Structure 1
Amino acid sequence: MRNTARWAATLGLTATAVCGPLTAPALAGPAPAAAGLYAPSALVLTVGHGVAAANAAPERAVTLSCAPAPSGTHPAATEACAELRGADGDFTALTANDRAACTREYNPVVVTAQGVWQGRRVSYERAYANECVKNASVTSFFAF
């Protein structure tokens, strides 16, 4: 009977020693927002010549990460992140001066954005008649 009591006590203490630290963070700890957690926001932006990304090799590409702080190879990462936040992640809302004077030259340019914005997968593609139309139509988000 004494051996059974010793084994029970040993098993109980071992279980407490092993499982105790695993449950402690669940009981006491900051809320996720207070812990500095954020939804990932990382994009790859490309510009190439063609009518669709499927048949246009990217000529320029940059990375843009907006969380926890703006970074990446985008030349104006802070402004680009602010513009996308202001548009609530809607790439079609990133418009600029549509009344700029551009030639009617047809040399199509396609822009793409692939990645994750605030934790959800995004994929965007848009073609413009030429580089001037692209630069006049979108904000600095695709200016690289």
Structure 2
Amino acid sequence: MRNTARWAATLGLTATAVCGPLTGAALAAPSAAPASLYAPSALVLTVGHGADAAVAVPERVVTLTCAPTASGTHPAASDACAELRAAGGDFDALSAGGDVLCTKEYNPVVVTAVGVWQGKRVSYERTFANECVKNASVSSVFAF
């Protein structure tokens, strides 16, 4: 239960820090000119071990901003943004491709993405059987 509370607090604070500035534009006066021609795209990505995000403790957390340019703490922000754009923001469509042989060891790894993609709220979670399966299944978006 303690891990769940810590997970929720960490994710909530990180999402607020990344997405909080994005809500200010929505509260601006209707007559105010838009600050940018780009729809906001700012995400908090996590990787942790556990059966799902409710019990997993995030081991790695990065931020990814894709509009107007790729930035954030993600080590390959440009590649990750390009792959998300190509997939239309659909995390299930991301695929690393290639044939990789993995052991059948069960050590679940959960990845999450929370934030805004092209102006729409995003909340994504996926659990993989182990780290090898995760690396073989997803592209550079969750490679950090």
Q: Please state which band the TM-score falls in when normalised by the shorter chain.
A: 0.7 to 0.9
Tell me the residue number matched to 1:7: none
Matched, 1:141 2:141: yes
Q: What's the CA shift for 1:96? A: 1.7
Any gaps of 5 or more consecutive residues in structure 2?
1-30
Tell me the residue number matched to 1:94: 94
Give secondary structure in 2 for the equivalent of 1:116: strand
Q: Distance in 1 between matches of 2:107 and 2:36?
A: 46
* CA offsets 1:38-86 (integer angstroms, 9 cap, x no match): 1100000000001100110100000000011100000000000000000
Any gaps of 5 or more consecutive residues in structure 1?
1-24
Q: Distance in 2 between matches of 1:133 and 1:104?
A: 9
Tell me the residue number matched to 2:4: none
Distance 1:98 1:56, change over 3 A: farther
* CA offsets 1:23-51 (integer angstroms, 9 cap, x no match): xx89xx9xx6xx85211000000000011
Q: Which amino acid aligns with 1:129?
A: A
Q: What's the CA shift for 1:97? A: 2.5
Q: Which amino acid aligns with 1:95?
A: S
Matched, 1:85 2:72: no
Q: Which amino acid aligns with 2:94?
A: L
Poorly superposed stretches of 4+, deviation over 2 Å: none
TM, length-normalised to structure 2: 0.75
Q: Distance in 2 between matches of 1:40 and 1:139?
A: 22
Q: What's the CA shift for 1:99? A: 2.7
How many residues align? The count is 114
Q: Distance in 2 between matches of 1:51 and 1:36?
A: 40
Percent identity (aligned): 75
TM, length-normalised to structure 1: 0.75
Q: What's the CA shift for 1:98? A: 5.8
Give secondary structure in 1 for the equivalent of 2:85: helix
Let me know the Cα RMSD of the aligned residues.
1.8
1:54-133 aligned within 5 A: 54-97=54-97, 99-133=99-133
Give secondary structure in 2 for the equivalent of 1:53: coil
Q: Distance in 2 between matches of 1:90 and 1:123?
A: 11
Give secondary structure in 1 for the equivalent of 2:54: helix
